[in-house]
Amino acid sequence: MSRKFYLPFVIALLVLILRAQENGNFTGTVTRVASNIPVRAARIHFDSGARTKWHAHEKGQILLCEEGVAWTQVQGHPVQVLHPGETAYVPGGVPHWHGATANQPTTLFSVDVSAGQTKWFNAVTDAEYGANAGRP
């Protein structure tokens, strides 16, 4: 048989092998979804008592507590406490703040899907912040 006969089979076999290697870490059909959503990510350290102003992200924000203990609050809702490995999601356009607890610093990993379109509002007052003083 000629090499021309084997070549399509070899190419098909290589494609199958490469696909198997590509998806070797998954079970079932898994597809990476292409996205043109601009994302801004940052690691932010807050000393004890430090926090952001009230603000809103155009398309939302994901927070991951890496170290310490963090507080985050959506306007009109109770404070959420985040420990290392815990996350919070704030939908787009929703005013919120986040930062360290009164007695413990924190480091947050922030993912902002708004490409920097953040609206800043008033500072979180000491009274608003102090209302959480009994929390961990």
pLDDT at 25: 79
Q: Which domains does the chain have, with CATH numbers?
A: 40-130 (2.60.120.10)
The answer for residues whose C-beta is within 8 angstroms of residue 89's C-beta and 6 or more apart is 60, 61, 62, 63
pLDDT at 94: 96
Q: Are 56 and 119 in contact (CB under 8 A)?
A: yes
pLDDT at 19: 57
pLDDT at 120: 95
pTM for the model = 0.74
Distance (Å, rounded) from C-alpha 42 to C-alpha 47?
A: 16
Provide the CA 123 distance to its chain's centre, in angstroms: 23
DSSP per-residue codes, 15-28: HHHHHHHHTTT-SS
pLDDT at 1: 46
Distance (Å, rounded) from C-alpha 112 to C-alpha 42?
A: 9
How would you write the pLDDT of the chain (136 residues) with one tens digit per residue? 444 444 555 555 555 555 555 557 778 887 777 777 778 889 999 999 999 999 999 889 999 999 999 999 999 999 999 999 999 999 999 999 999 999 999 999 999 986 668 999 999 998 888 776 555 5
